Amino acid sequence: MEQGLIMANTLKRKPKSKDSVIHQFMFLEAPVEIVSAEAVTWGESAWWPKDCLWKYLRQTDGDIRVGTQYVIKINKPSSHDWAAEVTQLLPTRLIERTFTRGMFKGFERVLLEEKSNGTRLDYELHFQIRGPINFLLWPFYLRGQYIKTIKSILSAFKDHTMAEVRRQQSKLDGSR
């Protein structure tokens, strides 16, 4: 277990000093294998909230890997879509996407850490705002909307993951 944590930590990119950071985390009483299966498909899974402010559309065929590209559709009138590319991937520990177009310059990361009684999931957004209108709206409106959306996503993720844990547990109980 320790070696996996060291590996993930050495791959952590240091944010630029000008970057702002939004960090949300949660703890799930679930093995990292169950959590990671859904975390890697962040943005394109069945559990993704239907009313989410944005959704990811994969532009690259095949499995998710470093170099996989996404268009991130914003569900607001007159909003411009974003683009991102997977820049780091450790399938059971970390997925990082770097924004290549849109209101953010920077990256987002979903990091998993195995604990003795479950898994910690951290969502981090390291960013600088692009565009004068976004820069003006960010502190008064967009930041709150972004954080509310991330909390909704994490809640949906937790509900789905814990349902999967219960499903697997009842399957095990039924086979005894």
* pLDDT 10s digits, 49-103: 988 999 999 999 999 999 999 999 988 877 889 999 999 999 889 999 999 999 9
The confidence band for 10, taking pLDDT boundaries of 50, 70 and 90, is very low
pLDDT for residue 169 = 86
- Helix-then-strand count for the chain, H and E: 4, 7
pLDDT for residue 12 = 52
11 vs 157 pLDDT, higher one: 157
CA–CA gap between residue 103 and residue 110 (Å, rounded): 20
Q: What is the pLDDT of residues 105-132, one digit of tens each?
A: 999 999 999 999 999 999 999 999 999 9
**How is residue 136 written in tokens?**
């003006």
CA–CA gap between residue 62 and residue 69 (Å, rounded): 11
Q: Where are the domains of the chain?
A: 21-170
**168 residue type, one letter:** Q
Which residues in 50-76 are b (16+ Cβ under 10 Å) and which e? eebbbbbeeeeeeebeeebebebeeee
**27 residue type, one letter:** F
CB 56 within 8 A of CB 38: no
Q: Tell me the whole-structure pTM to 2 decimals.
A: 0.85
CATH 3.30.530.20 fits 21-170, yes or no: yes
